[in-house]
Structure 1
Amino acid sequence: MFNLLTTLVDNNRIYGKQGKLASYIPSLLEADPEHLGICIVELNSGREFHAGDCDTKFTIQSISKVVSLILALSDNGRENVFKKVNVEPTGMGFNSIINLEVRNKKIPYNPMINAGAIVTTSLIYGQSKEEKFERIIEFLRRATNNQNISINEEVYECEKITGDRNRSLAYFMKSNKVLEGNVEEILDLYFRQCSIEVTARDLARFGAVLANDGLAPWNGQRLMSRDVCRIAKTIMVTCGMYDASGEFAVKVGIPAKSGVGGGILATVPRSYGIGIYGPSLDKKGNSIAGLRLIKDLSDELDLSIF
């Protein structure tokens, strides 16, 4: 497995030159576009296989939407969550306002676009935004078996300064009574969760928890119910790769979620957790080299669940 991963990383690293770093958050421009790394956690053996820049830190960005969905479902139940956000794919961008405006029912299409994630973040229980954020980061620490995970303060400050589109989405939903609570506090929590730093190894371990129906493979601790885990994986399949989710399902065929920090979280039920890092993005906001890497991996190991 080590040799296979090394070969796949070496073969696909060059594609980073064909993409661009995310520019709307200035701190993300500091990444090396030719970085590429992968880690795989094998459920049966518990072994971790890795290659390339798998321990390079980057901010989790939209991959945090999986966490906010899991916590919102665990706190409120599926019926209450899906009164506020739908589960349908969208053919538009992850930060589209049109998606909200044209719907008869003004709720977001799904929890994996920005509007939907702002809603699920607002549903996380806690007496204060600090308590809510502590729950988010503690969940991630347990799901990655890494107690050192923390926030990148520089990126967080950039998120706040450049987050006007997200403010527009949030206040539009507030005006339509979709979003409840203090909008600025909800947005601050959302910016914080997007600014948490992880590595491809961390994402692979998180993917292994999802592959294991919500149980941490290293200690058997249940981190989410089997039902919540199933819902999260299903929505990752249909909506996790922005408006390229259908193409990803055809070419790769496994639940996955990307982020503009360059990360890809993927999971193969009952088999593998996969984490990838490649900060250079394609036009839809997905890691351009990472997508090629995970497609090659899926072809080599016949990973598709379909």
Structure 2
Amino acid sequence: MEKILQEAILHGQKYTHNGNPASYIPELQKVNSSDLGVYIRTLDGKEYGVGSYQQKFTIQSISKVLVLTLALMDNGFDKVFGKVGVEATGDPFNSIVRLELKHLQKPLNPMINAGAIATTSLILGKGGNEQIERILDFAKLVSDNPHISINEDVYHSEVQTGDRNRSLAYFMKSTGVIEEDVESLIQVYFKQCSIEMNCQDLARIGALYSNNGICLKTGKEIIPKSICRTVMAIMTTCGLYDASGEFAVNVGIPAKSGVGGGILAAVPNKIGIGVYGPALDDKGNSIGGIEILSYLSDVLDLSIF
């Protein structure tokens, strides 16, 4: 397996020069754009890592997977999907256009920013501090890493540059999708995006979803099977922004990317994969990371289709 991962890294490195780190959040530019790492966890507990797999990065939009899961556990399907849809979009992840179409009434899915902010508003807690603590505790639980924390520098950078996300939240407040205080909510959203992990953490999360929410170490259910399946379905159709369809065709693995360079992938009943490569394409996805997953999907026959 390590040899295959080495080959996947070499394949991905051919493409990293075509991308750049995210520029609209200044702190995210302070990375080595040629970094590339991958980590795999199998459902029998074996783990393999190659490249910059220990490098920490903020998970950004990957947090949407965890928050959607927690929101569904807190509220049930009807309430969550009464606030946000499950349909794919061909628009950029931070677009406001669809919110203005009266026949839609709610964000198209939980993996775009508007939908994610609406989902975050559903996390139970007495105010923003308790909400983010619950999200952080859940991140520690599903990654089996009690040391997961928030990168404060990235968080403050998001606060200073996050006017587009504020506008999405205020627009949804005006239409009734969001009922909570916008400023408190948007701080929670910025903090969840600034949670810091590495490829190993992502692979362990992916393995948990792959195993239908059953912890590999204890055999206990952490996430209900029905929620795991729903979240992975949405990852498949919406997880890579407006490149999700192309990724489904070429790679065929449920996955969620983030502009910090990470990609979380979960192959049902097989393995969890964590990938890191901060050089992004014009859709906001890791160029090298996508190529690594494409290589692994071909070699290991991982496509779910």
Q: Compute the TM-score of the two structures, normalised by the length of structure 1.
A: 0.98
SS at match of 1:82: helix
Aligned partner of 1:195: which letter?
A: S
SS at match of 1:257: strand
| Mapped contact 1:14–1:34 kept (Cα < 8 A) | no
Match of 2:75 in 1: 76
| Mapped contact 2:203–2:272 kept (Cα < 8 A) | yes
Match of 2:84 in 1: 85
Superposition deviation, residue 105 in structure 1:
2.9
Match of 1:297 in 2: 296
Match of 1:51 in 2: 50
Aligned partner of 1:11: which letter?
A: H
Superposition deviation, residue 132 in structure 1:
1.1
Superposition deviation, residue 128 in structure 1:
2.1
Superposition deviation, residue 103 in structure 1:
4.3
1:174-233 CA distances to partner (integer Å, 9 max, x unpaired)?
000011110111100000000000001100000000000011212223221111111100
Match of 2:61 in 1: 62
1:71-128 CA distances to partner (integer Å, 9 max, x unpaired)?
1111111011111100000000000010111241320000000000000100000112
Aligned partner of 1:21: which letter?
A: P
Unaligned runs of 5+ in 1: none
Match of 1:116 in 2: 115
Moved over 6 A (4+): none
SS at match of 2:109: coil
Match of 1:32 in 2: 32
Match of 2:208 in 1: 209
Match of 1:189 in 2: 188
SS at match of 1:24: coil
Residues paired across the two proteins, number? 305
Superposition deviation, residue 251 in structure 1:
0.6
| Mapped contact 2:237–2:245 kept (Cα < 8 A) | yes
Name the CA distance, whole Å, in 2 between partners of 1:148 and 1:282.
31
Match of 1:134 in 2: 133
Superposition deviation, residue 37 in structure 1:
0.3
Aligned-pair identity (%)? 55
Name the CA distance, whole Å, in 1 between partners of 2:65 and 2:22.
20
Moved more, 204-213 or 132-141: 132-141
Unaligned runs of 5+ in 2: none
SS at match of 2:176: coil
Q: Compute the TM-score of the two structures, normalised by the length of structure 2.
A: 0.99
Aligned partner of 2:209: which letter?
A: L
Match of 1:41 in 2: 41
Name the CA distance, whole Å, in 2 between partners of 1:122 and 1:202.
25
